[in-house]
Amino acid sequence: MMSHEIRTPLNAVLGLMDLLSSSGLENEQQQWLGQMEQSAHLLLTIINDILDLSRIESGSFELFNSNINFSDSITFG
């Protein structure tokens, strides 16, 4: 429940920044917006990590074994 209360507003902010980026901003404004987006993504990563840690501590975090094809996961170029 707490994860949605934290992530939903941040995802809304990220979405609005995405819309703003295509609204015809000047170069300097685009740079500011890029810094804001990068900071918001870093904050979202931290929030996700904290929520994962709390799931681990509560015993509700599960890992699943699955086979992966590395060639499908790697791009060259």
24-56 pLDDT, tens digit each: 999 999 999 999 999 999 999 998 888 888 888
State the pTM of this model. Answer: 0.68
Could you give the angle at the alpha carbon of 23 between the alpha carbons of 18 and 28, nearest 5°? 85
Alpha helices in the chain (DSSP H): 2-21, 27-58, 70-73
pLDDT of the residue at 1? 57
Contact between 2 and 32 under an 8 Å Cβ cutoff? The reply is no
Residue 25, both tokens = 């901003």
Average pLDDT, the chain: 87
